[in-house]
Structure 1
Amino acid sequence: MEATKAEEPFLRHVETDVLIPKMMREKAKELCAEKVTAFNHCCKETGFLMVFKCRDQNAALKDCLTVHYRDSAFFEECKQEYIKEKLEFQRTGVAAKNRSQKLPASM
């Protein structure tokens, strides 16, 4: 059951202005993976001239990322995911990135 607006925990300034946008950037890079790959490939191929020769790939990547950064529904999705991870951390004391790790066989 998802929390309603009234039930949402208080989010600090750093969470709404830094941590959630960071999550948005990471997810947007995944959603724009094809353009990230094209830009990276262009940069590797052209070396120092990448500023001039990779303009199209850079513009396409920026456009793709900007679409996601400006999407209020995408922000809300990331915010809800952040809240879910925060509540789970408060409940278990285990960070999300550590939860997926396997336990040692000796335990």
Structure 2
Amino acid sequence: MEPPPGTAESSKLRHVEKDILIPQIMRDRAKELCSDKVQAFTKCCQETGLLMVVKCRQENTALKDCLVGYYSDPLFYEECKTEYLKQREEYRATGIKKKRQKLTSNV
């Protein structure tokens, strides 16, 4: 039997959790996992200025392929969902919100 929705043990997800909060974790983790491609694209853009649309296609494609690979992976979604549920359970039990770490890159 599923615990009531407001309890720490409940694993039922609201729309905002499915559509916004879990995808945010996915984006953050994917950027970390694709950090080499993020850095390569950022460096290319900084070096080429206005011509970046033309000159950084290869780096942009590599970055998009890496990110989309994670975004479309159902196992990666489940990992991020589990991470979110763990954070939510901890918050509901303690009332202390875990701060999200910001990436140091410019992306």
TM-score, structure 1 normalization: 0.83
- Tell me whether 1:84 sits opposite 2:86 in the alignment: yes
Q: Quick one: distance in 2 between partners of 1:68 and 1:8?
A: 26
Richer in helix (by share) = 1
Q: Which residue number corresponds to residue 61 of structure 1? A: 63
The Cα shift of 1:19 comes to 0.7
1:2-17, aligned counterparts within 5 Å? 8-17=10-19
Equivalent residues, number: 92
Structure 2: stretches of 5+ with no match in the other structure = 1-8, 101-107
Letter in 1 for 2:87: E
The Cα shift of 1:97 comes to 1.2
Structure 1: stretches of 5+ with no match in the other structure = 1-6, 99-107
Q: Which residue number corresponds to residue 73 of structure 1? A: 75
Runs (4+) of structure 1 exceeding 4 A deviation are none
The Cα shift of 1:91 comes to 0.5
Higher alpha-carbon Rg: 1
How large is the Cα RMSD of the aligned pairs?
1.3
The Cα shift of 1:8 comes to 5.0
